[in-house]
Structure 1
Amino acid sequence: MSELTRSQAIFVRHEFAIRRLHSLLGIVPLGLYMCIHLTTNASLLNGPETFQRAVYYIHSLGAALPLVEWGGIFLPLLFHAILGVWIIRTGRSNLGHYKFTGNKRYVWQRWTGLIAFVFLTFHVLHLHGWFHASPWLAIVKPLGFANFYPYNAASSLAMSMDRFIWGFWPAFYLIGVLATVYHLANGLWTAGITWGLWVTPTAQERATKVCTVFGVVLALIGTAAWWAAVSPGPEEIAQARQIEDEMYDAAVQTGLAYDMPEKRYEGEAERTLEPELIVEEVVIEVIETVEPSETPGEETPSEKTPSEESATDPTPAAE
């Protein structure tokens, strides 16, 4: 038995549980997280204060944040994506023979899944760098990745959208967001089939309407989040940076945020500055000697030679 056949046998033997776990992780936690994530980013339209406050709440988890990221996002995403690629490779589409809407959605679901996986992979690299280890960040930052600073959320997000060939990142993010939204909305419908929630034609038609409305609303929210990230210009970015710095001082004092300079844009810039480029302040003390000025009516003492002194001395010479 070949390796591929053995893998197929394992999948067929546990297909019932694997497919349900695959669809469940696509909804919870991944789908739920995407809804929260897009809504949080769309709050940037209300101003950098709203967005920064939301980011502070997320990062208030402190040391537990990496556990939440890997346990609730990255590992489920890897499982869902790898299994999705396996399903694509082993599945067969009959769209070439039957141009039904269901067959088109079957193909679109798989293509948008691939686009979403590529998009999310580079999205995490572009903003967060995949890993937070300093040696790794020292490699990816000069390449234009790991651009997001949580304590300067709005300004660093807007700046990161313009740090490549003009128009690349905005177009990449818009296509990725819309593909991911479609994959989730249509995935809700297929998950209902997998879990036996709607099996009759009437129930499926009703579910189609609900999933369509959900997809349209989420696409609008995602587009609003995208526009809030790509639209600010240099002046808006500078204003956002000033607001974020003021909020940081207040957040540290109130305990909302930890005092972690590495999560600020300026703090990172100071740490990456070459030692030989750091110029210390040098105070040069200048001592200036001022000679006393002559007072009217007074004669400034001057040195005289003995001959001059005797010539001008009014005392009569001794006889």
Structure 2
Amino acid sequence: MRTRLKDVAALAGVSVQTVSNVVNRRVAEMSPETRERVEEAMRKLNYYPNSQARGLRSQKTSTLAFLLLDPDPRYLADPMTDLIISGVGAVARERGYMLLVHAAQPDQLDHGLFMPIQQGRADGALLLLSGDPSLRRRYIDEMQKLTTNFVVFEDVNDDSVATVTANNRQGAYDMTRRFVDAGHTRIAFIGSGTAWPMIEQRFEGYKQALQDARIVFDPALTRFEGEWDAVTGGRLMSQLCTETDPPTALLAGNDLFAIGAIKALKERGMRVPDDFAVAGFDDFAFAEHTDPPLTTVRIPGFEMGHQAATLLIDRIEGKDPEINTGVLPVDIKIRGSA
């Protein structure tokens, strides 16, 4: 038999109304101890709210699910993820929605990522995915079986999927061509060991710029290792410096890698940008305060989140969105490192 509210109430030693308040997130005046006792009883009894019954009363939860695939346990500390979520949160607050963040590892298909939608705890979802492209596509296909109310932060070349991205490919192309115009022919690229769609686009832009400049792409000048932190960026830069024919310029996959690379170069007695040019990606808040100030490609993360949340809520509320696919422009910020 299906577990009922009164079963949870009996186990927790509270009223049915108290359980209902927890289920419906009316907990502002409830003590943390009571809430924890009710939630523990729900877990023990494997109780999940009857979304169909709740839907008869309200038709929606006024909640958005931000679903993320990221192997880093510090995924919420990532500056770009933070910017995107901030943009989503701004729209959610303006339009009376709550925001639920749920994450999984990108090593295999984890159906647990879909629980907020399966359990009726969210009206729609925003997907920020990493991992192998085929795995990312499987997540999108599975989401399509559950709802049409979702937006993906990736260009998937599928008109049936709502997407919001930035023009990462063009940004990388333009920055690489700037290196070429400055006389560099040995230009390196570094990224994390986890596949991210925006990094794939940046790498493609970098390679296309080399091709158009008739510079032969050299795999020895690329590294894809580790997670997004300055220490990894420094380590990869040190590896590149030991190549027989080392680079003279670096396009880092993000600003954290770039500042780590600059530190590693300085430790080798090299001057940036006189001996070696470095550019990053994203334009995080610290970029203009580094030594030297970091030349980088600004990615409008907040704006991406804002546009994606607007698009999603319009779909949830049955409005015809102005766009189904958004590609936001990027901007090169010329500073002192390149």
TM-score range, shorter chain: under 0.3
Query: 1 or 2, which has the higher helix percentage?
Result: 1
TM-score by length of 2: 0.25
Structure with greater strand share of residues: 2
TM-score calculated relative to the size of structure 1: 0.26
